[in-house]
Copies of this chain bind each other. A is one copy, B any other.
Amino acid sequence: MSTKPTLKSIAADLGLSITTVSRALAGYPDVSPKTRERVRSAADRVGYVPNESARRLVAGRTNAVALVLPYPSDEAYDPYVNDPFINELLRHLSHALQRLLQIDLIVSYAHRHDDMLNIYQRFVRGHRVDAFFVPRTQVPDPRVDYLLENGVPFVCHGRTEHSDEHAWVDTDARSGFAAATRRLLELGHERIALLNLPTEYFTSTLRASGYTDSMSAAGLPVNVASCDLRMESGYQTALSLLQSPVRPTALLCGTDIVAVGAMRAIRELGLAPGKDVSVVGADNLPLSRLLEPDLASLTYSYEDISAVMVDMLEHQLVERTIIPDHHLFDFQLIERESLGPCVSH
């Protein structure tokens, strides 16, 4: 192994200048085919790979992107929920970045919101990354404000207050929830309750309005409860909904983990999920398929959405500036056992 190969060592071996070796490998036309070949083979032989730190320094860019996630220990939701969603995103983002752009993805965790901003600052000021992915947008969202102020490129998963000023992708939550609600109506359900996400997430408003649209169109009263992203919360909320005088026959849930809690509440009351009470989740987390009965869920392709996010990021990285853009993905209902026709009355 001895010492790591550098441009200098290769140049010395070949009796060439550092410049020529560098330009040969970079494919510039001002080096003769013969020398280029000589350089190429020498570089291959010693397994030369440019020192990334040096390259970053001179280029003024890092070829690294950060994904900063909430560290769910003392937060108002448990890891079980969060993880599958984040994991799917992470996996596809990292893979696409590496393969397409040779860019590293740095994953970091932050406790609370001010801690979150500190981390963003450290990354930006220390020139550790060129850009960010911002998951689970909220309203207001200080992360987005900071990045906009400082001209740092980023792509959000979810819309924000300043959607027209930056790049984002999102699911068409309004149409998706409207369609899911219509499907429940079709199946004869009339007392449909929505277990919505916390209102600080941008998407929760959209999900609620999709549901409300369809209910109103059918001339039926809405029934919206709010719970956070924990199974326990879904359980409690469902329990109180189901114990009301006019029991809902269908529960539409803001996300799958809430639906898991809801199913538990249904069983607790001696009812059968998918028969006595239908349950529909959202985000189609992997666990949905592990349940019995397995869970109907609104879904979209994490792979497609990640590909678009990487694409949007690439444009911004090339131009070294924020470029607004957006893309909406369909939210499609996957029907599974937890969804059935209305049987009551």
Interface positions of A (Cβ within 8 A of B) = 1, 4, 47-54, 56-57, 62, 64, 69, 71, 78-80, 83-84, 86-88, 90-91, 94-95, 98, 104-109, 119, 121-122, 125-128, 150-151, 231, 257, 260, 264, 267, 286-287, 289-292
A1-B87 in contact given A94-B107, A104-B128 (Cβ < 8 Å): no
Question: How far, in Å, is A32 (CB) from chain B's closest CB?
Answer: 27
Question: How far, in Å, is A112 (CB) from chain B's closest CB?
Answer: 13
Q: Could you tell me the dominant secondary structure of chain A's interface residues?
A: helix
Chain B residues with Cβ below 8 Å from A52 are 62, 126-128
Q: Is the CB of B109 within 8 A of A98?
A: yes
Q: Is the CB of B126 within 8 A of A80?
A: no
Other-chain residue from B71, B257, B264 in contact with A91 (beta carbon distance below 8 A): B71
Q: Is the CB of B104 within 8 A of A105?
A: no
If A1-B151, A48-B125, A91-B109 are given as contacts, then 14 extra A-B residue pairs at C-beta distance below 8 Å, sorted by A number, are A47-B125, A49-B125, A50-B126, A51-B57, A52-B62, A52-B127, A53-B62, A53-B127, A79-B286, A83-B87, A104-B106, A231-B290, A267-B292, A291-B291
Other-chain residue from B108, B257, B264, B289 in contact with A104 (beta carbon distance below 8 A): B108
**Residue in A62, A95, A150, A151 whose Cβ sees the most chain B Cβ within 10 Å:** A95
Chain B residues with Cβ below 8 Å from A231 are 290
User: Nearest residue in B to A66 (C-beta to C-beta)?
Assistant: B104
**CA–CA, A264 to B292, complex, Å?**
8
**CA–CA, A122 to B98, complex, Å?**
11
User: Nearest residue in B to A125 (C-beta to C-beta)?
Assistant: B49
Q: Is the CB of A107 within 8 A of B80?
A: no
Other-chain residue from B49, B69, B119, B286 in contact with A126 (beta carbon distance below 8 A): B49
Q: Is the CB of B57 within 8 A of A53?
A: yes
Chain B residues with Cβ below 8 Å from A260 are 290
**CA–CA, A80 to B286, complex, Å?**
5
User: Nearest residue in B to A82 (C-beta to C-beta)?
Assistant: B87
**CA–CA, A183 to B54, complex, Å?**
58
**CA–CA, A90 to B53, complex, Å?**
24
Q: Is the CB of B125 within 8 A of A80?
A: no
**Residue in A4, A62, A83 whose Cβ sees the most chain B Cβ within 10 Å:** A83
**CA–CA, A48 to B128, complex, Å?**
14
Question: How far, in Å, is A22 (CB) from chain B's closest CB?
Answer: 15
Chain B residues with Cβ below 8 Å from A48 are 125
**CA–CA, A90 to B287, complex, Å?**
19
**CA–CA, A50 to B47, complex, Å?**
31
